[in-house]
């Protein structure tokens, strides 16, 4: 299976014959291009047109992150899996508000069910989350009554706020206390971790959408037009609790991350380079860990589950097969 | 929609009718699937494209040569697992040549199995092909693909994750 390339150091990223070469003051490193699926760039990297042409030829997305705002953008090579009928149908499902809200509701439903899976797991291990679970269960029933996307987004935001507050019971570490969700910049360490993890997931999901015929610009919960890509934000919602949040729990509870991995910036707190590397390493382990897929009867990685989520939407558009979001079993 | 009938459609039709529709609508299988990568490699390794591949109208023959007074066209396959499909694909090419006034014989090559098999277009086979072509056109013209149905080819198919997601 192909891997993602993460670049943290500063240097020159270029094409050397038929491989990717990363040149720093310390020397040159080579990465066989056929083994790379996407490139994530965190460091101060110089690239040239020849390199981007190479990425286009090999259908590799290049995601850029900066120090403060995290996700900057993606070099998204021209589509290689292109199908006129899929785009037409994808637009049709956006323009028909009934169809659009149905998809948006399913996405929120999937996200909330996965939050509950996470909470129930920690509740069964004595973290006393019974009240929060009940509250979220009650709020979940309002999803089906939401008739417009804004109300739905607001409801999802309220549920997520309760969910994030549970982190204080799951994470037994006073250095990682959640007060309320804050972005741009994150105001505490937990928010810094959530922001960083979510931006990684958005990029990963975008890379998976690139492997389908879907257009990432057309989203259903997150409106099209307000930003460049939105379908990846939609699909990411479903996977945040079971990928990003579980990575956070693991890093904090196993004491892999501590205060020294963070730094104060622009009135906020961000992960430093060492912290980012530790996060990325755990995140990748999670992406490539597998579960038994009930329908395929084979082991499937979390990364592939994200792709399959996009496939499910594509099948809704083309074949009218009801879209059921992925819900983890534990 | 204009259908540009190709030998590949004949091949897919004999394996999975859903695949015919997906292919015709540019919904391609996962190109990084192990079996697809292997197939591409074998094709390039055994029969160098620039030397052997010959275009005839919209058909592409892997191999073409003269054997005494007869023209032979060949098709290489990874394995004989899809024997029937491969046979009809080749028969379709022979039919194309026949319509152009060229009489040819076909041979299927399975280099990995060190096997080959001769294929001859009979009147009966030709009639079957005509029917297949008509059915393929009907499938492609439908608004959505035939539903996914499990068959013995599914476990190794590069569409499996798409069909069963």
Taking contacts as CB-CB distances below 8 angstroms, the residues of chain B near A88 are none
Name the one residue in this structure whose structure tokens are 């579980």.
Answer: A246
SS3 A255: coil
SS3 A240: helix
Tell me whether residue A156 is annotated as binding.
Answer: yes
Name the one residue in this structure whose structure tokens are 């150091």.
Answer: A9
Return the structure tokens found at B92: 């379709």
Q: Looking at the domain A84-319, which fold is it?
A: 1.20.120
- Please state the rounded mean pLDDT for residues A174-178: 91
pLDDT, averaged across chain A: 94
* Position A69 confidence tier, pLDDT thresholds 50, 70, 90: low
Is residue B49 predicted with pLDDT exceeding 60?
no
Residue B51 sits at the chain A interface (C-beta within 8 Å): no
Among residues B146, B150, B154, the alpha carbon closest in space to that of B23 is found at B146
Model pTM score:
0.90
Percent share of chain A, pLDDT over 70: 98
**In this structure, are strands A11-16 and A27-32 parallel, antiparallel, or unpaired?**
unpaired
Instruction: Note whether A315 contacts B147, CB cutoff 8 Å.
Output: no
Query: Hey, where are the domains in chain A?
Result: 3-65, 84-319
Show the DSSP H helices in A16-129 as ranges: 49-57, 84-95, 97-124
The CATH architecture that domain A3-65 belongs to is Ribosomal Protein L15; Chain: K; domain 2 (3.100)
For residue A206, the surrounding DSSP H or E stretch is: helix A189-210
- Paired with A19 in beta bridges are A16, A32
Long-range pairs for B117-123: beta carbons < 8 A, 24 or more residues apart: B117/B80, B117/B83, B117/B87, B119/B87, B119/B90, B119/B91, B119/B94, B121/B91, B121/B94, B121/B95
Report the greatest alpha carbon distance in chain A.
60
Kindly report, residue by residue over A239-274, the tens digit of the pLDDT: 999 999 999 999 999 999 999 999 998 789 999 999
Return the structure tokens found at A50: 């020849």
pLDDT at A95: 96
Radius of gyration of chain B, Cα coordinates, nearest whole angstrom: 16
Kindly report, residue by residue over A298-310, the tens digit of the pLDDT: 999 999 999 999 9
Tell me whether residue A237 is annotated as binding.
Answer: yes
* Position B48 confidence tier, pLDDT thresholds 50, 70, 90: low
List all residues 6 or more positions away from B157 whose beta carbon is below 8 Å from its beta carbon.
B16, B19, B29, B163
Helix axes A273-288, A189-210, angle to 10 degrees: 50
CA of B160: which chain A residue's CA is closest?
A: A296
CA of B157: which chain A residue's CA is closest?
A: A296
* Position A226 confidence tier, pLDDT thresholds 50, 70, 90: low
Taking contacts as CB-CB distances below 8 angstroms, the residues of chain A near B159 are none
B27, B30, B147: residue with CB nearest A86 = B27
Q: Looking at the domain B7-164, which fold is it?
A: Lambda Exonuclease; Chain A (3.90.320)
- Please state the rounded mean pLDDT for residues B12-34: 90
Most confidently modeled range among A149-158, B2-11, B105-114: A149-158
Report the alpha-carbon distance of residue A220 to residue A33 in Å, rounded. Answer: 34
């Amino acid at each position: 299976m192909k891997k993602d390339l993460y670049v943290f150091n500063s240097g020159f990223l270029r094409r050397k014959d038929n491989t990717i070469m990363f040149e720093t003051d310390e020397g040159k490193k080579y990465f066989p291009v056929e083994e790379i699926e996407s490139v994530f760039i965190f460091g101060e990297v110089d690239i040239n047109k020849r390199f981007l042409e190479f990425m286009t030829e090999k259908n590799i997305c290049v995601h850029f992150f900066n120090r403060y705002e995290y996700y900057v953008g993606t070099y998204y090579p021209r589509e290689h899996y292109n199908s006129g009928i899929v785009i037409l149908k994808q637009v049709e499902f956006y323009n028909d508000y009934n169809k659009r809200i149905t998809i948006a509701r399913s996405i929120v439903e999937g996200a909330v069910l996965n939050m509950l899976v996470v909470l129930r797991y920690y509740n069964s291990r004595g973290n006393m989350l019974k009240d929060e679970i009940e509250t979220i269960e009650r709020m979940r029933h309002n999803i089906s009554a939401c008739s417009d996307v804004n109300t739905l987004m607001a409801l999802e935001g309220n549920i997520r706020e309760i969910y994030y507050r549970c982190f204080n019971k799951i994470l037994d570490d006073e250095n990682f206390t959640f007060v309320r969700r804050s972005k741009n910049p994150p105001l505490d360490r937990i928010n810094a971790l959530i922001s960083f993890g979510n931006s990684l997931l958005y990029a990963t999901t975008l890379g998976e959408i690139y492997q389908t015929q879907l257009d990432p610009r057309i989203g259903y919960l997150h409106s099209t037009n307000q930003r460049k890509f939105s379908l990846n934000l939609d699909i990411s919602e479903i996977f945040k609790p079971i990928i990003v949040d579980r990575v956070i729990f693991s890093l904090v509870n196993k004491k892999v991350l501590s205060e020294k991995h963070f730094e104060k910036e622009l009135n906020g707190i961000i992960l430093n380079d060492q912290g980012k590397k530790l996060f990325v390493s755990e995140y990748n382990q999670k992406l490539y860990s597998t579960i038994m897929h009930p329908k395929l009867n084979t082991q499937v990685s979390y990364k592939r589950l994200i792709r399959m989520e996009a496939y499910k939407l594509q099948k809704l558009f083309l074949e009218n097969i009801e879209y059921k979001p992925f819900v983890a079993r534990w | 929609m204009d259908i540009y009938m190709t030998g590949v459609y004949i091949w897919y039709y004999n394996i999975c009718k859903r695949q015919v529709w997906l292919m015709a609508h540019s919904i391609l299988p996962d190109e990084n699937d192990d079996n697809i990568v292997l197939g591409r490699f074998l094709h390039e390794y055994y029969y160098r494209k620039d030397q052997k591949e010959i275009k005839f109208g919209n058909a592409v023959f892997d191999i073409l040569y003269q054997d005494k007074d007869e023209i032979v066209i060949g098709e290489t396959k990874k394995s004989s697992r899809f024997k029937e499909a491969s046979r009809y694909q080749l028969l379709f090419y022979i039919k194309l040549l026949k319509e152009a006034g060229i009489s040819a014989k076909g041979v299927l090559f399975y280099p990995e199995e060190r096997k080959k098999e001769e294929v001859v277009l009979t009147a009966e086979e030709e009639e079957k092909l005509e029917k297949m072509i008509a059915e393929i056109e009907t499938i492609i013209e439908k608004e959505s693909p035939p539903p996914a149905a499990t068959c013995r080819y599914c476990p190794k198919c590069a569409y499996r994750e798409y069909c069963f997601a």
